[in-house]
Homo-oligomer: A and B are copies of this chain.
């Protein structure tokens, strides 16, 4: 298989995923913003989320900044700014802010050195817990703890679930397809 064909094919096999923008700063305070679609829920208590960072030579800035400062932000994406979000996947040199290049708006909040994306209706800050090297392909499993969460309380349902459809959050497939969701079905807790 051709390299890009194979990347598309294998990437799609994990199905629909949540694309998010991860915001960081380096030691000089220069901002970085990058789209990731490989977030994974690890546990609710403590509240832990992981993501896969590609090899350092392919995607160096986000990982280096997280290792350097210990802090990053996660910002969900709507269709109305998906083109700008996708553009952050272009390989800009270190020190070039993807906020400036894409027109997305950097937003600082109290007690967080890393920038949020103002356009995003669901944002949270993370604190690095551990970077686990994956020896098979030089990627990294980055584990972090959720610190502060910013979202419209109106999307919080009675049972604590978030109505991300109402917040117009999108899902993604492979490395370059984005979708809205429809036809929500909620099922009861399953018992034998």
Q: Report if A184-B192 is in contact (Cβ < 8 Å); known contacts: A4-B160, A15-B20, A160-B5.
A: no
- A54-96 CB contacts (< 8 Å) to partner B: 54, 74, 76, 79, 82-83, 86-92
B164 touches A15 (CB 8 A): yes
A43 smallest CB distance to B (angstroms)? 4
For the complex formed, measure the closest distance between the CB of A7 and the CB atoms of chain B, giving whole angstroms.
4
Contacts of A10 in B (CB 8 A): 41, 43-45, 47, 146
Q: Which of A88, A176, A184 has the most CB of B within 10 A?
A: A176
Contact with B along A126-155 (1 / 0, CB 8 A): 000110101011010101011001000000
How many residues on chain A are close to B (CB under 8 Å)?
93
Bound CA–CA A54/B74 (angstroms)? 23
What residues of chain B lie closer than 8 Å to A145, measured between beta carbons? 136
Chain B residues with Cβ under 8 A from A169's Cβ? 15-16
Judge if A110 is at the interface, Cβ distance under 8 Å.
no
Q: Considering the complex, give the chain B residue whose CB is closest to the CB of A13.
A: B124
Whether B45 contacts A52 by the Cβ 8 Å rule is no
Q: List 17 A-B contacts (CB under 8 A).
A: A7-B44, A8-B161, A9-B161, A11-B161, A13-B41, A13-B146, A16-B17, A16-B169, A16-B171, A17-B17, A17-B40, A46-B137, A82-B187, A91-B191, A134-B143, A161-B176, A180-B181
**Residues 155-192 (chain A) with a chain B CB within 8 angstroms:** 156-157, 159-162, 164-165, 169-171, 173-174, 176-192
User: Which B residues are in CB contact (< 8 Å) with A157?
Assistant: 8
The interface residues of chain B lying within 8 Å CB-to-CB of A91 are 191-192
Closest to A162 in B: B12
A43 to B156 CA separation, bound complex (whole angstroms): 34
Of B82, B141, B183, B190, the residue contacting A89 (CB under 8 A) is B190
